Structure 1
Amino acid sequence: MSNLRKGFPVLERYTYLNTAASGLLHEKVLEFRQEHDLDFLISGSVLKENQGRLLAKVREEVGESFNCEPNRVGLVPNFSYGFNTLLEGIEKPKKVLLLNNDYPSINWPVESRDFEICYAEINEFLEENIVEVLKKEQPQFFAFSIVQYINGIKLSTAFLTQLKKDFPEVIFVADGTQFLGTEAFDFDASGIDVVISSTYKWLNAGYGNGFMLFNKDIEGKISPKHLGFGSLQGKYKAQEGNFLGKFEPGHQDTLNYGSLGEALKLIKDIGISTIESLVNVLKSHAKQVFTEMNLLEEAVVKRGEHSSIFNIKGDDKLYQYLREKDIIVSQRGEGLRVSFHYFNTEEELGVLVKALKAYKK
């Protein structure tokens, strides 16, 4: 485990339990970024002559990581850009199912457009709530986070796969930002139509890069309108025609997308199964401890499968107390959000628990 912490200098300074807010920069990613910009400094446009090969390689790495053909991988700067582009390509009016109090970057763009909207409640009966609303309201689209950003409530991929089988006409659009990088994910087997993800959290790829995964049947169901010279450039855009390019109308940043490629190589070297196992152990122990300390909301305690994100009871004073002890968490919702990734340890969980108990005295 100690070897997996190497390359993340932040971990030597803080008890960092905040990947749900921002992942960390690994030294290998930093090395790529420094070499890239040095090459740009001394080569100028000569470096950019090779950008097509670099971007094609990144698509292939994304596709390999999540089982999606590279010509169905879109490279976008972040979730919001990709999602808004997709929404603009939906002929309105349409009825959309959202989760009440889901991530604002999902709900706000939908609510600001001319869609009819229905909602399912996020609680211990989330799956039943979704099925009930799908049956009753019969929406054309379902847009949702796989993992909830405030409290970590998670929709299992098994549930989503079955849900798509039960409601095949509904287009599923998933935010994978708080999910991808924590466990193995097979996009083509999932049944989800579109997955969009920023990659600065659990993939530790830095800012300014993200991706979209499209299933084989989505083209024709949405008609994105963004166009630019970059829409026609590149090996995989040519294969896909204009559809993929309409999500990539401008210049693509080889520094940021190259960083994503390096981050995915690091995950491949470690092994996603290893990461999943480490995260599972930590999140199980954390849920047990937080439940015993009466720190979790009832809906989380009552559910079975959960992510490695938890919202524990706490206020601004507790937040400041933890920060003074170099324990990094976030203030979200009505409490403090704590999140564990593969580079965290049981000892760090112990540091947090000790601090929480000391604060109560």
Structure 2
Amino acid sequence: MKNFKKQFPLLEQYTYLNTAASGLLSENLLEFRQDHDLDFLIGGSLFRDKRDALFLKVRKAVGDLFGCAPNLVALTPNFSFGFNTLLEGIDHSKKVLLLKNDYPSVNWAVESRGFEVCYAEIDENLEDNIAEVVSREKPDIFAFSLVQYINGIKIDPDFLLKLKEDNPGLLLFADGTQFCGTEKFDFEASALDVLGASAYKWLNAGYGNGFFLFKEHMQEKVQSGEFEIKDLQGKNKPHKGSFIGTFEPGHLDTLNFGSLKTAIDLIKQVGIAEIENGIKELASVAKAKLSEKGVLESAVVNRELHSSIFNIRGDDKLFQKLRTNRIICSQRGEGIRLSFHYFNSEEDLENLLKQL
């Protein structure tokens, strides 16, 4: 792929294998933020008057990228805010299926509200495990991450379509924080009823912005709950009193959501197909070479479908060695987590392998 070091200057100094923890700031995003604050500086409330038009553009940009009607896109500061808001509108007597050791923002939000909960194991037989628990427990909702944050195990989208076909009443709520921005995705054609994501990772949009996508029928599902936050909408909100308005109380941040649109514009400039192909090619090579070294868990090695996130065996000594050699990664679970984005290269992988 093309050289992205100019767009992401940090790549000039480090081998950055840590997008699963935090995406990078691009030159485009820095330029937008400088212009934004200058316009605010000299415009004051005149600048503020243009905010609603900006938010409409952001919703459209998100909807276009992920295959969702803009009027069913909610702008939230992060996944956790949107997901907790969603759960407040769901009848707490419902039974929810979770994945054991899924991201705490998913599991804890459900467990802390008194829902009846059942669990499926995350291993090489993930899809079979889910199908078995759904058949046995008959949950009303399945809440899960599309890609697991610790080891990168990715759920099969074709399995989700079959699961939905066999269980049409089962609602699927997905966290796409470790997924959105890595490949082309059509929400409307997917099995999901709700998809939420924070945008500071694979979308490289900076902090303080995220989104939720909804299928049309979710308006009835959520509004049936005891959910009154929509009454907090301001008089100038474009979605005052609407379903989407329930997820956007108060004022939205023009800097952060403008950053989200700028990040999506860069993705469109690069091309989501090129991004997807680059990530998959590098992830395939990385999985093969890391498997040869025997540093991956069997649950990852034995699965055909995987993301570009890997957790390798390694202690603090190895982690510090990698950091000393300017390889940025994270300690997660019992090992060291590595993540490869479209701006990474096989040279980055070879540098890693050399240190291992």
TM range (shorter): over 0.9
* Equivalent position of 1:319 in the other structure: 319
Once the 2 structures are TM-superposed, how far is the Cα of residue 219 of structure 1 from its aligned partner? Answer: 1.0
Find the aligned partners of 2:188 and 2:38 in 1 and give their Cα distance: 38
* Equivalent position of 2:37 in the other structure: 37
Find the aligned partners of 1:221 and 1:5 in 2 and give their Cα distance: 46
Once the 2 structures are TM-superposed, how far is the Cα of residue 243 of structure 1 from its aligned partner? Answer: 1.1
* Equivalent position of 2:56 in the other structure: 56
* Equivalent position of 1:225 in the other structure: 228
Q: Which SS does the other structure have where 1:246 is aligned?
A: helix
Which runs of 5 or more structure 2 residues have no equivalent in the other structure?
none
Once the 2 structures are TM-superposed, how far is the Cα of residue 162 of structure 1 from its aligned partner? Answer: 2.0
* Equivalent position of 2:182 in the other structure: 182
Find the aligned partners of 1:160 and 1:61 in 2 and give their Cα distance: 26
Matched residues, percent identical? Answer: 60
TM-score (norm 2): 0.97
| AA matched with 1:257 | F
Find the aligned partners of 2:6 and 2:159 in 1 and give their Cα distance: 36
Once the 2 structures are TM-superposed, how far is the Cα of residue 32 of structure 1 from its aligned partner? Answer: 0.6
Residues 233 and 130 of structure 1: is their aligned pair in 2 closer, same or farther, counting only changes over 3 Å? farther
| AA matched with 2:147 | V
Conserved in 1, the CA contact under 8 Å of 2:39 and 2:47? yes
Q: Which SS does the other structure have where 2:222 is aligned?
A: coil
Q: Deviations over 1:93-122 (max 9, x none)?
A: 111000000001100111111110000000
| AA matched with 1:283 | A
Q: Which SS does the other structure have where 1:242 is aligned?
A: coil
Q: Deviations over 1:136-194 (max 9, x none)?
A: 10111110000000000001222222221111101110000000100000000002000
Once the 2 structures are TM-superposed, how far is the Cα of residue 234 of structure 1 from its aligned partner? Answer: 4.2
Which runs of 5 or more structure 1 residues have no equivalent in the other structure?
357-361
The 5 A counterparts of 1:229-268 are 229-230=232-233, 233-235=236-238, 237=239, 241-268=241-268
Once the 2 structures are TM-superposed, how far is the Cα of residue 57 of structure 1 from its aligned partner? Answer: 0.2
The 5 A counterparts of 1:1-361 are 1-223=1-223, 224-227=227-230, 229-230=232-233, 233-235=236-238, 237=239, 241-356=241-356
Find the aligned partners of 1:83 and 1:160 in 2 and give their Cα distance: 20
Find the aligned partners of 1:55 and 1:150 in 2 and give their Cα distance: 33
Q: Which SS does the other structure have where 2:74 is aligned?
A: strand
Displaced runs of 4 or more, over 2 A:
1-6, 227-235
Find the aligned partners of 1:46 and 1:229 in 2 and give their Cα distance: 24
Quote the RMSD (CA, aligned, Å). Answer: 1.2
Residues 287 and 231 of structure 1: is their aligned pair in 2 closer, same or farther, counting only changes over 3 Å? farther
| AA matched with 1:64 | D
* Equivalent position of 1:359 in the other structure: none
Q: Deviations over 1:252-285 (max 9, x none)?
A: 0000000000000000111100000000110000
Residues 279 and 81 of structure 1: is their aligned pair in 2 closer, same or farther, counting only changes over 3 Å? same
Conserved in 2, the CA contact under 8 Å of 1:95 and 1:141? yes
| AA matched with 2:252 | Q
Find the aligned partners of 1:39 and 1:283 in 2 and give their Cα distance: 41
TM-score (norm 1): 0.96
Q: Deviations over 1:47-76 (max 9, x none)?
A: 010000000000000000001000000000
Residues 18 and 8 of structure 1: is their aligned pair in 2 closer, same or farther, counting only changes over 3 Å? same
